[in-house]
Amino acid sequence: MKTIYPMQAMSLARVFCHLHGYLQPISNAQIPLVSVLTRTQNNVKHWQHTAPQPTSCRLQLQEECLELSYGGLVMHFDYVWLRDHCRSASCYNSKTNQRNLDTANVELNIHPTNYRVDDENLFLTWPDGHVTRYNLSWLAQNSYEGQKQSAMQPRIVWNSDIYTSAKVPFANWDKFMTCDEELKNFLSNFLLYGIAFVEGVPSTVEATETVTRRVSLIRETMYGKMWNFTSDFSRGDTAYTKLALDRHTDTTYFQEPCGIQVFHCLRHEGTGGRTLLVDGFYSAGQVLKKTPEHFELLARVPIKHEYIEKVSKHQNHMIGIGPVLNVYPWNNEIYMIRYNNYDRAVINTVPHDIVKRWYVAHRELTTELRKPENELWVKLKPGKVLFIDNWRVMHGRESFTGLRQLCGCYLTRDDVLNTARSLGLQA
């Protein structure tokens, strides 16, 4: 594996800075020393984050905060924060991982009366005599400066060639249901790429439900828990037809769109119907690389999406509001895309002097999403279950003929990530 250090790779850092979370142009001083850009065997660029290496530390008590230089980071900690986050037995229950200290009782102008530091720890004495001990590595990991340089979730963004070259393995149904290591490998690939497959699943709704429950709780919506549909237009949605569907994310009309989507084609007696997959984070990264102001606009302007259904006994009116691109405010790392031109409602949340700029930015993102090299086409077949990160990877389909029966469900995102963390993965 070849390692490219950021100080030696300004152009690459600019290209992939979206993985690391910067909206603003990157200067030499801004490139973190705790990250390296690596190339895997398949030449896929991937950010890896490493903990700061132990070094000597420098400490300075300022009027409003404590300044700590350690592990290549210069960090600042408010004194109230330092008192509030004390991990002593009286302040924090290590068995339940919950805070004992009543933050409302902490003096807002508190200052330590004494301090000392050794190779690994910082000790602070407070006015009431209480002593707080912090491990220096813990402070570096949990500082704002440290979090600003770290990704919440490592990812490999991809186009068709990158994903195909990676040769990501599929999980096997029998092993998946009985072996936690197989589940861990499956979730690791899912977190990295935003899609993952399980093969050998019996072609029934019941087996599909079983394999999804291995990963997470099912999120029940107005479509029910498990949905099983054909092109009979039984619901007021284009998905219930034989028409082609352009790339999109689902449930943009929910205030919190469903996190994971599951598809299983139980049978298809006809032609066409391939599934389209596009990594929205890859395309958003191309926008950030070429026109950062468009990325910022799409991450700032809230847009309404709406679902109105008046079919038979189904009467629904859902509205979700949020920007197309959602980023964490402390490091500008993208974590969700809300993109669905079918369900986008009237644009009435944008001032007139911004509307045209928003359309231009949205057009650039759409152009990136529709580039053929960014399209991964797969043929779903009985026994092959597809899991999609609905906050990242868009799906669509080509038109088809004949009877095509599909089943699936939505999963609660929090529970998927909970399962991953329980298995030791970063999520």
Residue 65 maps to which CATH number? 3.30.2020.30
pLDDT tens-digit readout, 26-44: 233 332 322 233 334 444 4
Amino acid symbol at 215: V
- Say what the pLDDT of residue 240 is: 67
Question: Do residues 312 and 306 touch, judged by C-beta distance below 8 A?
Answer: no
Reported as type and span, the H/E element at residue 189 is helix 180-193
CB atoms within 10 A of CB 384: 19
**Could you tell me if 44 and 112 lie in one domain?**
no
Q: Is the dihedral of CA 418, 420, 423, 427 positive or negative?
A: negative
Q: Which of 168, 151, 195 is nearest to 37 (CA)?
A: 151
Alpha carbon distance 193, 389 (integer Å): 9
**Could you tell me if 226 and 372 lie in one domain?**
yes
Contacts of 40 by beta carbon, 8 Å cutoff, 6+ apart: 1, 46, 166
**Could you tell me if 167 and 217 lie in one domain?**
yes
Q: What angle do CA 421, 422, 424 make, to 5 degrees?
A: 60
**Could you tell me if 294 and 426 lie in one domain?**
yes
User: Which of 113, 148, 183 is where one domain is finished?
Assistant: 148
User: Which of 49, 67, 87 is where one domain is finished?
Assistant: 49
- Which structural domain, as residue segments, surrounds residue 135? 58-148
CB under 8 A, 24+ apart: contacts of 71-76: 71/34, 71/136, 71/137, 71/140, 72/33, 72/34, 73/34, 73/140, 73/143, 73/145, 73/146, 73/149, 74/145, 75/139, 75/140, 75/143, 75/144, 75/145, 75/146, 76/143, 76/144, 76/145
**Could you tell me if 22 and 117 lie in one domain?**
no
User: Which of 122, 148, 174 is where one domain is finished?
Assistant: 148
Q: pTM of the entire structure?
A: 0.81
Residue with tokens 């600042």: 76
pLDDT higher for 44 or 104? 104
Question: Do residues 404 and 240 touch, judged by C-beta distance below 8 A?
Answer: no
At residue 234 the predicted structure's pLDDT band, cuts being 50, 70 and 90, is low
**Could you tell me if 140 and 178 lie in one domain?**
no
Pick from 37-51, 211-225, 279-293, 346-360: least confident = 37-51
Number of folded domains that form the chain: 3
pLDDT tens-digit readout, 351-360: 999 999 999 9
**Could you tell me if 315 and 385 lie in one domain?**
yes
- Say what the pLDDT of residue 190 is: 98
Alpha carbon distance 399, 273 (integer Å): 5
**Could you tell me if 383 and 296 lie in one domain?**
yes
**Could you tell me if 274 and 351 lie in one domain?**
yes
Could you tell me the CATH number of the domain that includes residue 426?
3.60.130.10
At residue 11 the predicted structure's pLDDT band, cuts being 50, 70 and 90, is very low
**Could you tell me if 62 and 174 lie in one domain?**
no
Reported as type and span, the H/E element at residue 396 is strand 393-397
**Could you tell me if 352 and 380 lie in one domain?**
yes
